[in-house]
Amino acid sequence: MRSPDERAPYPASDKTALKEHIVSWLVLIVSGVLEAVWATALGKSEGFTRLAPSVVFGVSLVLSMAGLAYAMRELPVGTSYAVWVGIGAALTVAYGMWSGAEAVSLARILLLVGIVGCVVGLKVLH
């Protein structure tokens, strides 16, 4: 029978790889949040005619893409992209509902919960 360390995806002797994996997931989550920031800022920029939202859009877009690229060095491309989009989409819609810009309904909330559940499922099954 193998020891628990041998069954783990990252044996105790490879703590550096485990740390890199965890950092990649954290960076991916932050990048997904930044996706929601740039999507919201893009809408508020009114076609890039408003300076502040346009600057927020540009900075958050670059940081979000850089974080996604960083995470994809360690994580599978499909999982990374789906998690990134899922976080960004769910937060963008949630912000729209919270701010009153979008309608709130039980069906929309359940669909958002479904997106989050699928994203968590991709992480768990990774």
Sign of CA dihedral 94, 97, 100, 101: positive
Q: Residue 84, Cα to own-chain centre: how many angstroms?
A: 3
The DSSP string of the chain is ---HHHHSSS-GGGHHHHHHHHHHHHHHHHHHHHHHHHHHHHHHTTTTTSHHHHHHHHHHHHHHHHHHHHHHTTS-HHHHHHHHHHHHHHHHHHHHHHHTSS---HHHHHHHHHHHHHHHHHHHH-
Pair 63, 31: CB distance under 8 Å: yes
Q: What percent of the chain has pLDDT over 70?
A: 89
pTM: predicted TM-score of the whole model, two decimal places: 0.82
Residue 94 has pLDDT above 90, yes or no: yes
**pLDDT, the chain, mean:** 89
pLDDT at res. 2: 41
